[in-house]
Amino acid sequence: MPRYQFACPSCETTFEEKRTFSRSDEPAACPACDALTTDKVIGAAMFYAPGSAAKAMLDPKPALRAVPTAAHAGGCPCCSGRSGAAGGTVL
């Protein structure tokens, strides 16, 4: 069942309701002040279909460690395992 987000102009509360498509245009009562003058808020929709490109974005594989392409100085943080912050800890 789809979720719809509403905003109440009287008390500035935002809330969500689960409703069927057939009830999507009916007024929603504000849970804080019971006003029926709420507005439907248009938000971003999320879809997830297993095996699709969305799965790759939502369940990314662990990042591979980059291999340096050029030689660095002996004490550089990326090659020596040191933190980049001043006074960092040597691993």
Say if 22 falls within a structural domain. Answer: yes
Average pLDDT, the chain: 74
Which pLDDT band holds residue 59 (cuts at 50, 70, 90)? low
Q: Could you tell me the residue range of the domain that residue 28 belongs to?
A: 3-41
Angle at 37 between CA 35 and CA 41, to 5 degrees: 115
User: Does the pTM exceed 0.85?
Assistant: no
Say if 86 falls within a structural domain. Answer: no
Domain count, the chain: 1
Asked if 16 and 4 touch (Cβ cutoff 8 Å), the reply is yes
